[in-house]
Chain A
Amino acid sequence: MPNKILILFAHPLFEKSNANDALVQHIPDSPNITFHDLYQEYPDFDINMKREQELLYNHDIIVWHHPLYWYSCPPLMKQWIDIVLEHGWAYGKEGWALKGKLLLQAITTGGRRENYSSTGRDRFTITQLLEPFNQTARVCNMIYLPPFVVHGTHSMSQEGYDDHAELYAQVLKYLEDNDPELDELANFEYLNDWFKTKIS
């Protein structure tokens, strides 16, 4: 049984993002992968909770795919979290709907990886900055995977975009067909790093 993957994509200015254009273009065409463009579906931020919960219910791996803005996600992604991850459904005493599903965060950022360190300009690592998302996943009984990160999108050539997009596509294809080895994954900061050991 292949894994069913739901990509929740949030970008308020998708048409001008080269990096995300490449990433989205490369998402494999598969009946098991659902691409869900939140800003296209809910331009008025009026999220249809029931529909979203149904989508979550029907997939095994959830991807939050978005650019990193001010060390967080775009507002509609947060709106989605607020509205869809309902108490009594996603968490709380009676909320077990998401139990055991995998959550992967796929983010793009203009900053370089070396800046995201205690001594760097951004003072925190990506892992540290994404803790709120990690914790949200945990509260909802989901398994939070190391994030898939594309760094340095502000100064990247088209080939760079395509290389990352190719890697993203391979990761998705891999996750569709395989259950990732979680203890092995725990040793890696980024999913990218782990996956490179897989393919080399």
Chain B
Amino acid sequence: MENNFFFEAIIYLAAAVVCVPIAKKFGLSSILGYLFAGIIIGPYVLGLIGQEGEDIMHFAEFGVVMMLFLIGLELEPYKFWRMRRFIIGMGSMQVMFTATILFVACLIVMPWDWRSTLAISLALTLSSTAIVMQTLKEKGLTKTSMGRSSFAVLLFQDIAVIPILAILPLLADGAVPDETLNQSLISDLSGWLQGLIVFGAIAAVYIAGRFLFVPILKMVARTRLQELFTASALLLVMAVSYLMQLVGLSPALGAFMAGLVLANSEFRHELEGDIAPFKGLLLGLFFIGVGASINFHLIMADPAFIIVFCTIFNIIKFLVLLGVGKIYKKSSDQNLLFAFALSQAGEFGFVILGFASQLNIMPTILSSQMMAVIAMSMVGTPFLLLINEKWIDPYFGVKEKQPKKKFDKIDDDEENHVIIAGFGNFGSTIVRLLKTNGIPATVLDMDSDRVESLRKMGFKVYYGDASRLELLQAAGCENAKLFIAAIDNPRVNLEVAEKVKKHFPNLKVLARARNRSDAFDLVDMGIKDFYRENLYSAVHLGVDALVELGHRKYTAMRQGQRFIKYDEQSIFRLAEKRHDKTAFLMTAMEEIEMQEQLLKNDLYAQLGAQDHAWESTQLKKEASDTD
């Protein structure tokens, strides 16, 4: 059994590791890679995995839940509120028009019973959140107008699943509703009580988000155990999903709400960083499952029907979306992209069809055929988008992504140009200076108490370990202009600086350095802008000492300026020299040796002799020579 599990895990992982890079190599989206991985290891090609593809999909659907949680996290309630017109308007139009047209068309053309026709058209109306959102993310389109509309429609569809699943049993002939199926805890209760409980659950998520999640996360954060925080993040998402399932709501919707509630908390970036890898893996698994569950026998039995039907329903969906986009006055290229992206059927289709066939609304053969249609349309989407991108889109004007539009700027403002890690004495001074000059900075800090108090004062501070790549990405390192590494712990600070330098080579890094040897390490990383925390105050004190001993203040200050420049140059010189030695680590002896060398060099430096401004010695000499 255990061997079996390992073997399966290895097959899945290996398939993903082999197929996804190949897909990427050909410029295809990773989704296609996963889908093909699924097809290849599935029962109809290699047969490495059997029919369990669908079971795996049920498990992996949790990836979709996590994705919605992340989307909620990124959205922030006020933005969600601003989108309400699109969610309700575009979403309802798409769902109603598509379902109606599909229903009427199938009723006329197909020899199906009207009940199964209705179930099928409803199932096909819903698009795939997983495929669309993942694709948008990969292509960096989530913040364009098309991305926002797609999201609005998908969100409405997620909500629409609930009433659709509620209506289906009414279609059944009455005799067959299967009690065990998809029934929530409360389905025996009367209608108004159910409604009350559902609203209660939603309110509970909201209130818990406000008053329970954040204090718990804070408590966990104080333990400073990374894995415990990850565990609580997972617990949070799972608990909310479970609660939603108990009251018969879609878990994805619940996760989305939980994300929305937490979007304003200081843990936002940390949660994003923690959940993102799970989401990615589960979604990958989900796509593999879709690929593996495509029943090629069924397709081969009547390929013409499946392919033609798939094409026609895709076209209908595409046209409806195009129309909805037109009503909302999208530019042609955005509208095309929008229509192509959402033209497939999605994971909810499987759920609805499965439910319908269990209710005996339609024969199993028909529902399996439709599932194959859905799977095919999901596989087709990335290709459609590729076709659009390569051949259709070029004919339609400019892409909207270019800056210059006010609309986009609102979103840009969300991401600060400056990201600063560490809000100790050092970092906070920097942030204050920037702030007094009207420049907001995104701050990452490990101390959750400090984070909270600073947030109250209106600073944009997030809790998290800045040496984690996910957090850096979540904080917006991709688009920032400046990264300031100002963490108190020098080791961590170097680690962070190195990580940023490595993963975001275009991002300028200004780094705090505790002392000379830190500075050497920074030079080795290629960071030239380092700031030794004790140099400037030590020189400042030295200048004051000179003044106390009778030097004029301006002269003493100029000596200080020169000393700093001279010392900074010596760092670069010595950093190179250091590599002549075999040992990289600075031993205490070497440190002393270096100090000696510095002092010796100072004797030859003759800082005062650089220029002779305002000195008259020479002039006097020349005057006396000529006299």
Contact = CB atoms under 8 A, between A and B. Distances in A.
Does B associate with A?
Answer: yes
Interface of A: 44, 46-47, 49-50, 82-83, 86-88, 92-93
B619 A46 contact: no
A78 B272 CA distance: 56
B618 A83 contact: no
Given A46-B558, A92-B619, A86 B612 contact: yes
Given A44-B561, A46-B562, A46-B565, A83 B619 contact: no
Interface majority SS (helix, strand, loop, mixed), chain A:
loop
A69 B622 CA distance: 34
Given A92-B619, A93-B622, A87 B612 contact: yes
Interface majority SS (helix, strand, loop, mixed), chain B:
helix
A87 B619 contact: yes
Give chain B's interface residue range (CB within 8 Å of chain A).
Answer: 10 to 19
B619 A82 contact: no
B425 interface: no
Nearest to B619: A87
Interface string B340-374: 00000000000000000000000000000000000
Given A44-B561, A46-B562, A86-B613, 7 more contacts: A47-B611, A49-B611, A82-B613, A86-B611, A86-B612, A88-B618, A93-B622
A96 to B, nearest CB: 14
B610 A49 contact: yes
B341 to A, nearest CB: 44
A92 B611 contact: no
A49 B608 CA distance: 12
A6 B525 CA distance: 36
B610 A50 contact: yes
A92 B558 contact: no
B407 interface: no
Contact of A82 (B561, B562, B614, B618): B614
B476 to A, nearest CB: 27
A92 B614 contact: no
Nearest to B614: A82
A2 to B, nearest CB: 31
Contacts of B622: 87, 92-93
A200 to B, nearest CB: 41
A47 to B, nearest CB: 8
22 contacts: A44-B561, A46-B558, A46-B561, A46-B562, A46-B565, A47-B611, A49-B610, A49-B613, A82-B613, A83-B611, A83-B613, A86-B611, A86-B612, A86-B613, A87-B618, A87-B619, A87-B622, A88-B618, A92-B618, A92-B619, A92-B622, A93-B622
A47 B611 CA distance: 9
A82 B554 CA distance: 15
B575 to A, nearest CB: 22
B35 to A, nearest CB: 53
Nearest to A79: B613
Interface string B574-618: 000000000000000000000000000000000000111110001
A186 to B, nearest CB: 31
Contacts of B611: 47, 49, 83, 86
Contacts of B565: 46
A47 B618 CA distance: 21
